[in-house]
């Protein structure tokens, strides 16, 4: 199939076309050098040639558009290769510098923005969403139509033009990192090594895809970028979700911060036991290690805080309190400021540590040498009974390794070493954290879970509105690579209910960081089964299409987050308006992509009502400041819609299987509870595990109370043949 993408050239610039119309450009390539620490004037590049060739490329048959630029001295040659596929486009960049006299031998590519593709005509009249690094560890979205307002360090760009969505995803290669920045009249595509001394380079710069379904685009661009890099990393869909995170957990961070102790942990586990709350894992966060002045001194625990040691505590947690897993926090850099150069660890691990130009001592960013460090630490932790890890401070690589190693090289080596050890010792049970920089995202070969927002800050007023903004919008691109961790929260908090619904639609882990004496079990029970299993959605929670290019902190419309749970969909709606205005909008079954069927039962969790509507019919939404709504959308099949356990947020996730045999519908549930369904006509008979069961008519639906059953059960619903309106139940 011929590619819809093409390239045209004029005035030493090139333009990327889609179906013959300009999409990006005109683009002017620039190369910037520095010598002896000072930037030099940018050489003027002239387009020498542009030729096309059909070939078999990274992702199948494509047309190569090769553009060769050279400066007037013939010393700088920049080649840009556009691989145009039927479904997407890939940009490669090659640079060759041949200095012709001795005095130029210290002239190298600038470490930041050494190569820039300057787009002079970016147009997004229908809006864009730019995901950018607002801190070195985290990203969040920026919205607009004016490219001058697009932030620096943008690492994902979605925009709409002519009714078609386009997604540009910068790639981090073995040396260079690509990112975007807005300016008057266009955007800059900047390639940086964050390291001095490079002249001859080749890299993948970005992937681009276009289409009517915005949710397919990041999957396409991420897959193409990974293929082009020859990366061992894969898409989220190819990675296993850690078994530990299928259950409810507790993290010590917001309960104690750095002052975590053995006694404090024991007190909290006692509280969970009194509440009969099935917490199945514990994460001992920052503060447990032996450190000095922000530097790691040893692999062991701080005995002032853990006088009995980690192992006895972990054994008690499992035997006395019913936990299955205990994890510990680590820093990607050893500790926040690295490893103590005067400590015994520096001597013991000297062959596995890297001393930077800034004097920091860090785990060696090399798969072999770095593995030695992590393997030794993880061997110790496994002996203590530790089952999994959370690794923080990953986005600080560029800070510590700048002008030591190229950022792409440092990231590949550091992540490969960590993942190899995490796989060896913990079966890849690992939460990556503070690692949303593009070099982190593209460089992890095996781990599958990564935090998708900044921290939960319980003391900051209205912080929920930022937290709820970051997670679903970040997951638009981040979810192509990883299962998103939407962070911990408090069950006794002004926004506790909002946070609980946010985790319900997240598709990720559910864990809290409650202080001792400050847990509300009823805030957690709608999220879990009696054995602690999380009722988890199928993928990452994402903004609905009508919200993708709109800032919910500014708009007077709600943020709607959709997800799937088997055949059903869920939508959480939130008022995130920063000015505390009322927001209005509508919720439709079509807000959830891919739902089968023509009519749907929409269960309003808080109103306890069901309405039956067509795919594009809307339910009016009106939310006051901080108010939320939550819906389950179940398709009708043969006149019956299975909602699931109505006392659970992700009620369809409690369904093991549904089987239909003519007028008989058989539903297998993972446990008992209040089972809800909507039907065109009342059932004539209902059985629970073979025994007669009472069917209760509710507000637009029916329910069967199966609360007496703590284990899996089977419900049989017998109906007559029906003809009529699905709105019959009222």
Phi/psi zone of residue 587: left (φ > 0), alpha (ψ -120 to 50 degrees), beta? beta
Which SS3 state, helix, strand or coil, does residue 259 take?
helix
Q: Does domain 639-730 have CATH number 2.60.40?
A: yes
Secondary structure element (H or E) that encloses residue 426, with its range? helix 407-426
Distance, in Å, from the CA atom of 182 to the CA atom of 189, rounded to the nearest integer, reads 9
Distance, in Å, from the CA atom of 167 to the CA atom of 301, rounded to the nearest integer, reads 46
All residues at 6 or more sequence positions from 416 whose CB lies less than 8 Å from its CB, including other chains: 232, 367, 370, 443, 445
Any idea what the Cα angle at residue 342 is, between residues 339 and 345, rounded to 5°? 50
Classified by CATH at the fold level, domain 280-451 comes out as: TIM Barrel (3.20.20)
Distance, in Å, from the CA atom of 368 to the CA atom of 654, rounded to the nearest integer, reads 44
Distance, in Å, from the CA atom of 183 to the CA atom of 188, rounded to the nearest integer, reads 7
Q: Write down the pLDDT at residue 727.
A: 36
Domain with CATH 3.20.20.70 in the chain: 280-451
Distance, in Å, from the CA atom of 546 to the CA atom of 632, rounded to the nearest integer, reads 19
Question: For residues 543 and 585, is the Cβ–Cβ distance under 8 A?
Answer: no
Classified by CATH at the fold level, domain 459-477+491-635 comes out as: Immunoglobulin-like (2.60.40)
71-78, Cβ contacts within 8 angstroms, sequence gap of 24 or more: 71/31, 71/43, 71/44, 71/45, 71/46, 72/43, 72/44, 72/46, 73/43, 73/100, 74/98, 74/100, 75/43, 75/99, 75/100, 75/104, 76/31, 76/43, 76/45, 78/29, 78/31, 78/45, 78/115
Q: Write down the pLDDT at residue 192.
A: 97
Domain with CATH 2.60.40.1180 in the chain: 459-477+491-635
Distance, in Å, from the CA atom of 339 to the CA atom of 333, rounded to the nearest integer, reads 8
Q: Write down the pLDDT at residue 60.
A: 87
Q: How far is CA 301 from CA 84, 306, 309, 345, 513, in A?
A: 54, 7, 7, 13, 21
Question: For residues 207 and 169, is the Cβ–Cβ distance under 8 A?
Answer: yes
Distance, in Å, from the CA atom of 55 to the CA atom of 61, rounded to the nearest integer, reads 6
Q: Write down the pLDDT at residue 105.
A: 58
Which SS3 state, helix, strand or coil, does residue 635 take?
strand
**How many other C-beta atoms are found inside a 10 Å radius of the C-beta of residue 684?**
11
Q: Write down the pLDDT at residue 719.
A: 84
Domain with CATH 2.70.98 in the chain: 5-230
Q: Does domain 5-230 have CATH number 2.70.98?
A: yes
β-partners of residue 157 are: 130, 168
β-partners of residue 714 are: 668
Secondary structure element (H or E) that encloses residue 317, with its range? helix 310-319
Secondary structure element (H or E) that encloses residue 94, with its range? strand 89-97
Which SS3 state, helix, strand or coil, does residue 491 take?
coil
Question: For residues 115 and 95, is the Cβ–Cβ distance under 8 A?
Answer: yes
Secondary structure element (H or E) that encloses residue 48, with its range? strand 45-57
Q: How far is CA 42 from CA 71, 124, 429, in A?
A: 10, 29, 48
Q: Write down the pLDDT at residue 723.
A: 40
**Cis, bond preceding 316 (omega within 30 deg of 0):** no
Which residues does the chain have with pLDDT short of 50? 102, 722-730
Q: Write down the pLDDT at residue 35.
A: 81
């Amino acid at each position: 199939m011929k590619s819809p993408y093409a390239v045209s050239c004029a005035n030493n610039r090139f333009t990327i076309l889609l179906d013959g119309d300009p999409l990006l450009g005109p683009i002017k390539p620039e190369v910037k050098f520095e010598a002896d620490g000072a930037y030099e004037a940018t050489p003027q590049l002239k387009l020498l040639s542009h030729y096309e060739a059909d070939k078999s490329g990274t992702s199948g048959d494509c047309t190569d558009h090769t553009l060769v630029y050279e400066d007037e001295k013939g010393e700088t040659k920049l080649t840009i290769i556009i691989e145009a596929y039927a479904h997407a486009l890939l940009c490669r960049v090659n640079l060759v510098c041949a200095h012709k006299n001795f005095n130029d031998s210290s002239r190298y590519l600038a470490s930041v923005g050494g190569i820039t593709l300057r787009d002079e005509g970016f147009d997004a009249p229908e809006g864009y969403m730019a995901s950018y690094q607002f801190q070195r560890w985290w990203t969040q979205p920026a919205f607009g139509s004016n490219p001058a307002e697009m932030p620096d360090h943008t690492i994902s760009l979605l925009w709409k033009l002519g009714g078609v969505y386009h997604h540009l995803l910068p790639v981090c290669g073995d040396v260079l990192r690509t990112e975007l920045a807005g300016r008057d009249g266009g955007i800059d595509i900047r390639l940086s090594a964050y390291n001095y001394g490079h002249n001859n380079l080749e890299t993948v710069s970005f992937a681009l895809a276009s289409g009517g379904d915005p949710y397919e685009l990041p999957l396409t661009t991420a897959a193409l970028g990974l293929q082009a890099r020859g990366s061992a990393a894969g898409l989220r869909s190819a990675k296993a979700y850690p078994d530990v995170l299928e259950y409810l957990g507790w993290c010590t961070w917001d309960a104690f911060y750095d002052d975590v102790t053995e006694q404090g942990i024991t007190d909290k586990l006692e509280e969970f036991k009194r509440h009969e709350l099935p917490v199945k894992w514990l994460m001992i966060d920052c503060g447990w290690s032996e450190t000095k002045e922000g530097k790691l001194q040893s692999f062991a625990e701080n005995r002032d805080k853990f006088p009995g040691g980690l192992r006895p505590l972990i054994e008690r947690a499992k035997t006395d309190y019913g936990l299955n897993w205990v994890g510990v926090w680590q820093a990607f850099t050893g500790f926040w400021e690295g490893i103590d150069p005067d400590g015994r660890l520096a001597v013991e691990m000297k062959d596995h540590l890297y001393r930077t130009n800034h004097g920091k001592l860090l785990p060696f960013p090399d798969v072999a040498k770095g593995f030695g460090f992590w393997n030794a630490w993880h061997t110790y932790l496994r002996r203590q009974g530790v089952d999994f890890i959370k690794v923080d401070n990953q986005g600080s690589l560029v800070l510590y390794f700048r002008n030591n190693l190229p950022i792409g090289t440092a990231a590949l080596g550091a992540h490969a070493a960590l993942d190899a050890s995490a796989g060896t010792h913990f079966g890849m049970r690992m939460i990556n954290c503070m690692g949303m920089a593009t070099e982190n995202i593209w460089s992890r070969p095996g781990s599958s879970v990564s935090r998708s927002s900044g921290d939960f800050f319980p003391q900051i007023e209205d912080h929920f509105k930022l937290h709820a903004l970051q997670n679903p919008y970040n997951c638009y691109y981040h979810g192509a690579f990883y299962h998103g961790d939407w962070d911990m929260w408090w069950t006794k908090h002004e926004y506790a209910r909002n946070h609980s619904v946010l985790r319900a639609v997240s598709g990720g882990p559910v864990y809290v960081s409650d202080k001792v004496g400050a847990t509300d079990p009823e805030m957690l029970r709608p999220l879990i089964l009696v054995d602690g299993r999380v009722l988890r959605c199928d993928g990452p929670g994402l903004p609905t299409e009508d919200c993708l290019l709109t800032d919910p902190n500014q708009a007077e419309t709600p943020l709607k987050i959709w997800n799937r749970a088997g055949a059903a969909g869920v939508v959480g709606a939130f008022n995130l308006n920063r000015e505390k205005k009322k927001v209005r909008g509508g919720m439709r079954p079509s807000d959830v992509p891919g739902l089968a069927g023509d009519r749907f039962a929409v269960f309003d969790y808080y109103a306890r009502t069901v309405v039956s509507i067509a795919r594009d019919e809307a339910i009016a939404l009106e939310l006051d400041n901080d108010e939320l709504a939550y819906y389950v959308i179940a398709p009708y099949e043969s006149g019956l819609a299975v909602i699931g356990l109505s006392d659970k947020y992700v009620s369809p996730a409690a369904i093991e299987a549904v089987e239909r045999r003519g007028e008989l519908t058989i539903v297998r549930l993972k446990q008992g509870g209040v089972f809800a369904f909507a039907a065109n006509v009342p059932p004539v008979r209902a059985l629970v595990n073979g025994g007669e069961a009472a069917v209760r008519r509710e507000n637009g639906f029916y329910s069967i109370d199966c609360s007496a059953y703590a284990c899996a059960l089977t419900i049989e619903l017998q109906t007559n043949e029906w003809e009529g309106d699905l709105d019959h139940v009222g």
